[in-house]
Amino acid sequence: MSQKTWGGRFSGDTDSRVEAFTESISFDRRLYKHDIIASQAHARMLAEVGLLTEGEAEQIVAALNAIGEQIERGEFAYSIKLEDIHTHIERALIERLGDVGRKLHTGRSRNDQVITDVRLWVRDSIDELTARLAALQSSLLDAAERHRDVVLPGYTHMQRAQPVLAAHYFLAYAEKYQRDRERLADCRKRTNVLSLGAAALAGTSLPIDRESVREKLGFDSIAANSLDVSSDRDFLLEFVFDLSLIAVHLSGWAEEWIIWATTEFNFVELPDAFCTGSSIMPHKKNPDVLELIRGKSARVIGDLQQLLVLVKGLPLAYNRDLQEDKTALFDAFDTVSASLELAAALIRETKLRREVIAARLEIGHLDATTLMEFLIGQSVPMRSAHEAVGKLVRLCEERRCRLAELPAEVYEEVRPGLSQGVYKVLGVANALNAFRSAGSTAPAEVEKQIARWRKVLA
């Protein structure tokens, strides 16, 4: 007898090259848990509507549990002859239960089955990632508190711009990862929809109860159009987009810290456990983890690209192309999940080099914009103030000094009376304390944000 679930129509065996080419068991086996719980809900529903007896449903549920345990113990045999995880589990069930096992697939197709499994898997993965993002945010918040006293040069165009508190810097990333969490929560809504019951594409003439299955599996609603169900991969694409954006956030930060770890910057001291050496240059300590967080983001973006191209030309309803969705999905998840874990650990264990940062903080006229705002406070029109400070900076460059080191006469020339009070806003410490707008790096604002994040992440 053919091992195939569809063997009836066929007279000969499948070409072994075709089996190797069309199998998905090598990667979809990781759906086994979700395949089992979905089948158990389906079996219980079949009993409720009289398509199985209670006893048959109980036998199926118990046998599926046993199969799950066998898989977990590593004692389950896989074969490409059985194509995918759905066929493997059904075949194992039939081996255990005979005709009772042959009833499980009643009112169901692999088309609605596979996407139900994937929805359950994505739902769990979203919850797992949300926890990972929260852990990363906590490590950022801890770093913000640990470096409360540190002032950093803030950059635009990679040029020194204005001073920022290190706490403000760390919390900037906490905001990005919060939006990532919100995006995942939103994606979860469209993920948490029951596909099962659409059968192959048109529904079924059997009296199934989709509402009962929905409730058993904890889905929020039922997919309304059976034809849409087996072609719909929107939630999955959205999920991989969300993963791509997380990867992009991680990558930008990794790049920043790779630069910070250079001799030229020397802002961070990376823990030895997160670096590797060189096989030829004995002095090297390379930031490989950061480089690979940056590098692996390319894979995730590639996975998203693969999925978009995969679905772009597909007519309704199920097409076998869709089997290729899982490699990209799993790869994107695994990559981002590992990157998040390492990023959190790295942030937790990295120290900013306070003295090095402080020693060079007065370089780069980080107080120039505050000086301009001080002039504006004295009723100088903004554009005039901008020009005046620009000229003062040029003078500083000529004299190789800081704005705070220019003599009072110079300020008096700009505007009589300016030298009084101006030195109270010059210098990085004064400039930083001058900030006041909501959401700024003003120390009081940053303290508010630290307190808010403590509550959010509690």
- Cβ neighbours of 289 (radius 10 Å): 21
Nearest-approach distance from CB 439 to ligand ARG, in angstroms: 47
The yes or no reply on residue 112 touching ligand ARG (CB under 6 A) is no
The yes or no reply on residue 90 touching ligand ARG (CB under 6 A) is no
25, 88 contact by CB (below 8 A): yes
Say which amino acid occupies 141.
L
The yes or no reply on residue 164 touching ligand ARG (CB under 6 A) is no
d(CA 176, CA 140): 11
The bridge status of strand 221-222 relative to strand 268-269 is unpaired
The yes or no reply on residue 226 touching ligand ARG (CB under 6 A) is no
123, 192 contact by CB (below 8 A): yes
Residue 155 bridge partners (DSSP): 160
* Residue 152, SS3 per DSSP: strand
Nearest-approach distance from CB 105 to ligand ARG, in angstroms: 12
Nearest-approach distance from CB 25 to ligand ARG, in angstroms: 8
Output phi, psi for 365, to 5 deg: 55, 45
The yes or no reply on residue 39 touching ligand ARG (CB under 6 A) is no
Nearest-approach distance from CB 12 to ligand ARG, in angstroms: 18
Instruction: Pick between residue 226 and residue 441 the one whose CB is nearest to ligand ARG.
Output: 226
The end-to-end CA distance of the chain, in Å, is 60
The yes or no reply on residue 249 touching ligand ARG (CB under 6 A) is no
Candidates 110, 119, 123, 183: give the one binding ligand ARG (CB under 6 A): 110
Helix axes 382-399, 368-377, angle to 10 degrees: 140
Say which amino acid occupies 332.
A
Catalytic residue among 16, 26, 221, 278: 278
d(CA 363, CA 426): 13
Residues in the chain: 458
Output phi, psi for 263, to 5 deg: -60, -35
Taking CB under 6 A as the binding criterion, the range among 50-58, 208-216, 270-278, 317-325 that sits at the site for ligand ARG is 317-325
Is 278 catalytic? The answer is: yes
Nearest-approach distance from CB 133 to ligand ARG, in angstroms: 29
Which runs of E-coded beta strand occur in 205-361? 221-222, 268-269, 351-352
Q: CB burial class (10 A; 0-12, 13-18, 19+) of residue 39?
A: buried
d(CA 410, CA 5): 90
Candidates 63, 64, 322, 422: give the one binding ligand ARG (CB under 6 A): 322
Nearest-approach distance from CB 24 to ligand ARG, in angstroms: 4
Instruction: Pick between residue 192 and residue 323 the one whose CB is nearest to ligand ARG.
Output: 323
Instruction: Pick between residue 157 and residue 320 the one whose CB is nearest to ligand ARG.
Output: 320
The yes or no reply on residue 28 touching ligand ARG (CB under 6 A) is yes
Catalytic residue among 11, 157, 283, 437: 157
The yes or no reply on residue 116 touching ligand ARG (CB under 6 A) is no
Instruction: Pick between residue 322 and residue 375 the one whose CB is nearest to ligand ARG.
Output: 322
Q: Residue 61: name the closest of 44, 83, 76, 85 by CA.
A: 44
Is 157 catalytic? The answer is: yes
The yes or no reply on residue 56 touching ligand ARG (CB under 6 A) is no
Instruction: Pick between residue 24 and residue 59 the one whose CB is nearest to ligand ARG.
Output: 24
Instruction: Pick between residue 113 and residue 449 the one whose CB is nearest to ligand ARG.
Output: 113
The yes or no reply on residue 329 touching ligand ARG (CB under 6 A) is no
Taking CB under 6 A as the binding criterion, the range among 71-79, 109-117, 205-213, 352-360 that sits at the site for ligand ARG is 109-117
Instruction: Pick between residue 40 and residue 111 the one whose CB is nearest to ligand ARG.
Output: 111
Candidates 63, 71, 100, 114: give the one binding ligand ARG (CB under 6 A): 114
DSSP codes, 248-266: HHHHHHHHHHHHHTSTTT-
Residue 133 corresponds to which tokens in the numbers above? 């993002």
The yes or no reply on residue 103 touching ligand ARG (CB under 6 A) is no
* Continuous segment of H or E residues that includes residue 23: none
Nearest-approach distance from CB 37 to ligand ARG, in angstroms: 17
The yes or no reply on residue 84 touching ligand ARG (CB under 6 A) is yes
Candidates 323, 335, 370, 430: give the one binding ligand ARG (CB under 6 A): 323
The bridge status of strand 193-194 relative to strand 221-222 is parallel
The yes or no reply on residue 117 touching ligand ARG (CB under 6 A) is no
Give every CB contact of residue 198 below 8 A, 6+ residues apart in sequence. 109, 111, 112, 223, 226, 227, 229, 230
Candidates 40, 59, 111, 430: give the one binding ligand ARG (CB under 6 A): 111
204, 178 contact by CB (below 8 A): no
Instruction: Pick between residue 238 and residue 325 the one whose CB is nearest to ligand ARG.
Output: 325
The yes or no reply on residue 449 touching ligand ARG (CB under 6 A) is no
Q: Residue 195: name the closest of 176, 219, 172 by CA.
A: 219
Nearest-approach distance from CB 13 to ligand ARG, in angstroms: 17
d(CA 108, CA 104): 8
Give contact residues for ligand ARG (rule: CB under 6 A): 24, 28, 83-84, 110-111, 114, 318, 320, 322-323
Which residues belong to the active site? 157, 278
